[in-house]
Amino acid sequence: MPQTGRVLIQNNVEVGAGTTIDRGSLRDTVIGEGTKIDNQVQIGHNVTIGRHCLLAAQIGLAGSLTIGDNVALGAKVGINNHLKIGDGAQVTAMSGVKDDIPPNGRWGGFFAKPTNSGSGRLSRWSGWCRPARPIRRTRDGSDGGSTGQV
């Protein structure tokens, strides 16, 4: 099948070293105005990247994606083909995306799922911070033998 599409790079776009942008097969591959692309990013055929997006190093974007405006993708993110990433979405580093992401969504993980606020990763580990056994206070106020040393 002949590749008849083009690569259209709009104004004020920065493309890092070793980045590959595939020409469109049936439609154009478009990089929106003001987008910043770090080193070693692979952009597949027919991908449309919106305006003012940030793509960190070593991202792989499969073909026919639509990425909205003001999207931020962390390093080593991989996104499957034919998906839509909504305006203002954020994907944390080293995530694998196999589903559409709604506008302003914050996703992460492998496979990527919605995350809470920036402390979402820490909240998952909060149960690990509890003592192994409850500390019981004695009548004299001590904890029953602790020397206070760590």
Q: Is 45 a catalytic site residue?
A: yes
**N-to-C CA span, the chain:** 68
Catalytic residue among 9, 45, 48, 97: 45
* 30: Cβ contacts below 8 Å, ≥ 6 apart: 8, 10, 47, 48, 49
Query: Is residue 59 within 8 Å of 75, Cβ to Cβ?
Result: yes
* 47: Cβ contacts below 8 Å, ≥ 6 apart: 22, 29, 30, 61, 63, 64, 65, 66, 67
For residue 30, what are the β-bridge partners? 8, 48
- What residues act catalytically? 45
